[in-house]
Structure 1
Amino acid sequence: MTVEVRRAETDAERADALEVRRAVFVEEQGVPEDLEMDGRDGESIHFVAYDADAAAGESSERDDADPGPDNRRPIGAGRLREVGEGVAKVERIAVLQPHRGEGVGREIMRTLEATATERGLSELVMHAQTPVEGFYRDLGYETTSDEFEEAGIAHVEMAKSLA
């Protein structure tokens, strides 16, 4: 599978990102929709990952998302939100269940971090769900807190310097 991650610039791309987030956080993990849709989307940079092979007619039977622009299937999403001088928060990283373990999350993070660097940001912070803490640690993030609960799910704070 070929993954294409892009900044969600159009309404359709933003809708694709929200579709993935809703599927993962609300439907799969049971996060209340009012917590998932927290009113901060307008101040954030959104990213959406597509199965580029689906656009070439190699759609997988595992895909259950509606095709996006150019018949691509959205399979992952994330957002980046500036929270202070030189600091941004990585949020809402989501990959549809059939595509986990295929490098989609890693590609989303690579694109998100490149965008943060282009914007002159020096540090990224996040609240990571504890089951994926190791994934983020492998990408250079350090755990900076004890475990805490957010939306009924165990999390830890993590940070990475981009300087």
Structure 2
Amino acid sequence: MPYRIHQVDWGSQDSPIRQIRERVFVFELNIPKSVEFDERDNNALHFVAYDENGTPVATARLCQDGLLGRIAVLPDHRNPSIYTEILKYVLINASNCGFKSICINCVLDEVERFKQKGFSPCGCVFMEAGIPRQRLECPVSRCDSSPFTMVH
């Protein structure tokens, strides 16, 4: 299924972003709403993926420090294709905006898989919303996005 991905403005497009992230992170993963929606949303680059009917089905954000996160995909659309398309689109935008590298806060079970995609550990393991994570970093020019999936 082809998806259309667009960079959107938080101020005018926060409703579909909030709906998707709330469903995935707050309801499915029990992340507190106060943790899921933070001050970084105001200054981040936001991306929304739309299905063939124009319905928003996924979202991601890229913070000013290069932190890629809040990748949320509605259950009926969770497939390798959408994750790959989102990451490719974010990487193109990151490069166009002058980002040299991106980083992710990865769940520990996924660290090895992300290392195979060009990411390297950066810093110590830490807790985020009760989940142990490792920050990983990758130069934008070296990040392998295909096939790519994200696991919460």
Interval of TM-score (by shorter of Structure 1 and Structure 2): 0.7 to 0.9
Partner of residue 125, structure 2: 147
Within 2, Cα distance between the matches of 1:123 and 1:102?
23
The code of the aligned residue for 1:157 comes to R
1:77 pairs with 59, 64, 73, which one? 59
Partner of residue 42, structure 1: 42
Give the Å deviation of 1:131: 4.3
- Structural mapping, 1:89-108, within 5 Å: 89-108=67-86
SS of the residue 1:108 aligns to? helix
Give the Å deviation of 1:3: 1.2
> For 1:38-63, what per-residue CA distance to the aligned partner results, in whole angstroms no more than 9, with x for missing partners?
122111110011112xx1xxxxxxxx
Identity %: 26
Where structure 2 has 5 or more consecutive residues not aligned to the other structure, the ranges are 142-152
Where structure 1 has 5 or more consecutive residues not aligned to the other structure, the ranges are 56-71
> For 1:115-151, what per-residue CA distance to the aligned partner results, in whole angstroms no more than 9, with x for missing partners?
1100111111121223444554454222334533210
Contact kept in structure 2, 1:49 and 1:108, CA below 8 Å: yes
Contact kept in structure 1, 2:107 and 2:133, CA below 8 Å: yes
Within 2, Cα distance between the matches of 1:107 and 1:138?
18
Contact kept in structure 1, 2:68 and 2:103, CA below 8 Å: yes
Give the Å deviation of 1:15: 1.8
Partner of residue 129, structure 1: 107
Instruction: Report the number of matched residues.
Output: 141
Within 2, Cα distance between the matches of 1:90 and 1:8?
15
- Structural mapping, 1:1-80, within 5 Å: 1-9=1-9, 13-52=13-52, 55=53, 72-80=54-62
- RMSD (CA atoms): 2.1
SS of the residue 1:40 aligns to? helix
Partner of residue 159, structure 1: 137
